[in-house]
Structure 1
C-alpha cells in the first residue's frame, strides 16, 4: 500500500505534460509581464531598467519554484492543486502591485511573494512527515523563511526597499545552486534535486510562448490605437517579424534538446542555470515589447539614445541569454548569434535614425542570425574538458 507522503510525490505513472492548473498558473504571468512592460515604459532610463529587472526577477522566481513544485510532486494531488491555485493568486497580486511595488504597494508585492514560498514549504514539509523527502522541503522552507525577513523589512522601510529586496532575491536565487545547505539537515543531495527533463523543457517553451504573446499583444494594441498609416503598419509588421524570429531562435536547436540535457545533468547546475538564463531571455522580450510600443506609436520620429537602446537592447539581451543557453545545454557557440549581438551593440551606440529604421535594423540582424544559425555553418563546439 502506498503511503500518504508517497502519493504526494510525482510517480512514474504521472504524465510529464503540463497539467491544467499549471497552464492556468501561467495566465497570471500574462498580467505580470504586461505590468512590467508598462513599469519600464514609465521610466526609460538605466535606473528604470534596473528597478524593472528587480521586480521581474521576483515574479520569475515564483514561476520557477512553482514549476519545480509541479515537477517534484503530483500536480493532481489535492494539496498540490491547492498550492498551484494559491501560487496563481499570489502571482496575480504581485502583478497588481508591480506599477507601485517600489512605492506604495511594496507590502502587497512582498507579501504575495513571501506567502507563495512559505505556503509551499510549510504544506510540503507537513505532508511529507516521516518521508526522506521531508528534509528537502524543510531546507527550502528554512531558506525562504530567512529571505522573508529582508522582503518584509523592505516593504515597511521604503528608503531601504531596493537594497533589502536585492539581498532577499540573492538569497532565493543562490539557494538551489548551493543545495539549500541548512544546519542539522546539511545540503540537498543530487537525487533530491532531480528534474523531469521532458516536463521542464515543455514548461519553459510554454512560458516563452506567454512572453512572446505579450510582445504580440502590445504590438496589436498599440497598432490598433494608431491611424494605421504606412509607417505604423510597417513598424507593426517588423515587430511581428521580431516575435517570429525570436521564437525560431529559441527552439532551434538547444530549446529542443533541453529535456534530455536536464534529465542527465547535475540538476543543481543545469536545472538552476537554465532558470537564470531564461530570466535573461524573457527580460529581453519584455524590453522588446517596450521598444515595440514606442516604435509603432512614433515610427517616423528620430529616436533619442534611450529609445534606440531600448529597441535594440531587447533583441541584444535575448541573444545574450540564447548564446549562454546553447553553451550551457551542449557547449556550442553559434558565431552568427555572437556576430548579431555585436552588431546590435554597435548599432545602438552609433545610430540616430527614425524609429522605423531602428526597428528594421533589429529585425534585419535577427533574420540574418536565424538564417545562418539554421544553416549551422559557423558553429563551434569547444572540446570537453578531460
Structure 2
C-alpha cells in the first residue's frame, strides 16, 4: 500500500544516457491500438474512394495522437505505482471506446468517438498535473501541456453535442490546439528532452503495429481467394513491400534527433521527427489495405484506378516521409538515401499515373521493385569499401 500514491519521477536528466526499454505496461497498452488500427483499416477497406481515404485519415489522427500523448508522458515521467497503472487502465478504456466507435466514426458514432477521445485527453491532463505537483523543475512544461490539452479536450467534448458538420469544425480546432501545444513549450523542453533510447523504441513499436496490418492483409487476401499462381505471386510481392519498408525504417532508426537537440539545443528537430511520423504510419496502414485490395481483385482483369492509386499513393507517402526524415537528420542523416526515397516516391506516383490497364500482379510487382531498390541502395552504401567515405554524405 505504501506504493499506492508513489509520486511520478523524472525519467530524464541524470539518467538520460542510461539504456531504457519499453515497460510491460506500455506493451500491454499498445494492444488497444492494434485493435484501433485494425478498425481503421477495416473502414478503409469498405470505402477506398477519396472520401473514404479522407475519413480514414481524419479518424487516424486522434487515434495516433492519443498514443503519442501517453508515450511522451511516460518517456518523461513514468513510475510503476498503482496510481499510474490505474490511470493507464482508464486510458486503455478510452482508446478501446474510440476503436468501438470508429466504424461509423464520421456518422452516427461520431459523438461516442469524440467523447472517448476527450476523456482520454482528460486523463493525460491529470497525469501532467500530478507530475507538475511532485516535480517543481518540470512544472512550467507540465502546466503548459495541461492547459493546452485541457482546452482541446473541452472542444472535443462540446463537439459531441453539436450537429454535423459543425461537430467536425470543433474537431479540427481541437486537434490543431493539441498539435500546437508541444510547439509552444519550446524553451521549456530544452531541459526535459525525451529519452534517447526509449522514444525511438516506442515509435518503432507503433510502426510495427501498422506494418502488421500489411501482414494481416496478405493473409486475409489469400485466404478469401481461390489459390492460383497470380494470387500467390501477388501475396509474395505484398510481403516484399512490407519487409522492404521494415528494413528501410529500422535500419536507420535511432536517437539522432534527441542527441542533436541535447547537444545543439535544436528542439525543432524532435518535433519534426514526431510530426513526420504521422504521414509515415498513415501511409503504411493504407498500404496494407492496398495490398489486400489487390489480392481480392480479379487477377486477370486490369486493376481499377482507385486500387492502383491506393497502393501506389500510400507507399509513395511512406517513401516521402522517410526522405524527409533522412534529409533533416531525424533518422540517419544521409542526403543520398533521402534522394533515393524521394525518387522512389516519384516513381510510385508515375506507376499510379501511367499504370492504367495493368494487371494487379503487375502493379504490386512494380511497387515491390521500387520498395526493394531502397533496401538494395542501403546495402550498397553500407558496403565495407564505402566506409572509407563519410557514410553521412
TM-score (norm 2): 0.87
Aligned equivalent of 1:282? 281
Matched, 1:222 2:228: no
Aligned equivalent of 2:318? 318
Q: Distance in 1 between matches of 2:360 and 2:279?
A: 24
Aligned equivalent of 1:182? none
CA contact (8 A) 1:219 1:293 kept: yes
Matched, 1:121 2:109: no
Aligned equivalent of 1:191? 190
Alignment of 1:83-232 (within 5 A): 83-126=87-130, 128-129=132-133, 131-156=136-161, 157-179=163-185, 189-232=188-231
Aligned equivalent of 1:78? 82
Alignment of 1:60-71 (within 5 A): 60-71=64-75
CA contact (8 A) 1:97 1:109 kept: yes
Matched, 1:374 2:391: no
Stretches of structure 1 that go unaligned for 5 or more consecutive residues are: 180-186
Report the number of matched residues.
Answer: 373
Q: Distance in 2 between matches of 1:49 and 1:74?
A: 36
CA contact (8 A) 1:254 1:326 kept: no
SS at match of 1:303: coil
Aligned equivalent of 2:271? 272
**What is the aligned counterpart of 1:332 among 331, 334, 339?**
334
Using the TM superposition, give the Cα deviation of residue 257 of structure 1 relative to its aligned residue in structure 2, in angstroms: 4.5
Q: Distance in 2 between matches of 1:95 and 1:380?
A: 46
Q: Distance in 2 between matches of 1:336 and 1:205?
A: 22
Change in CA separation of 1:268 and 1:230 when aligned onto 2, cut-off 3 Å: same
**What is the aligned counterpart of 1:39 among 21, 43, 49?**
43
Q: Distance in 2 between matches of 1:89 and 1:218?
A: 27
Higher mean alpha-carbon deviation, 292-301 vs 355-364, is at 292-301
CA contact (8 A) 1:235 1:359 kept: yes
Higher mean alpha-carbon deviation, 256-265 vs 314-323, is at 256-265
SS at match of 2:226: coil
CA contact (8 A) 1:147 1:171 kept: yes
Q: CA RMSD in A?
A: 2.6
**1:284-313 deviations in whole A, cap 9, x for unaligned?**
111111111111111333122211100111
Higher mean alpha-carbon deviation, 104-113 vs 148-157, is at 148-157
SS at match of 2:102: helix
**1:59-113 deviations in whole A, cap 9, x for unaligned?**
1101111111111112413332222222222211111111111111112211121
Q: Distance in 1 between matches of 2:187 and 2:92?
A: 27
CA contact (8 A) 2:138 2:192 kept: no
Q: Distance in 2 between matches of 1:31 and 1:244?
A: 22
CA contact (8 A) 1:71 1:200 kept: yes
Q: Distance in 2 between matches of 1:365 and 1:214?
A: 20
Higher mean alpha-carbon deviation, 277-286 vs 219-228, is at 219-228
TM-score (norm 1): 0.88
Change in CA separation of 1:285 and 1:256 when aligned onto 2, cut-off 3 Å: same
Alignment of 1:6-45 (within 5 A): 7-10=8-11, 16-45=20-49
Using the TM superposition, give the Cα deviation of residue 265 of structure 1 relative to its aligned residue in structure 2, in angstroms: 5.8
CA contact (8 A) 2:244 2:374 kept: no
**What is the aligned counterpart of 1:56 among 60, 65, 68?**
60
Q: Distance in 1 between matches of 2:309 and 2:256?
A: 32
Stretches of structure 2 that go unaligned for 5 or more consecutive residues are: none
Q: Distance in 2 between matches of 1:213 and 1:64?
A: 19
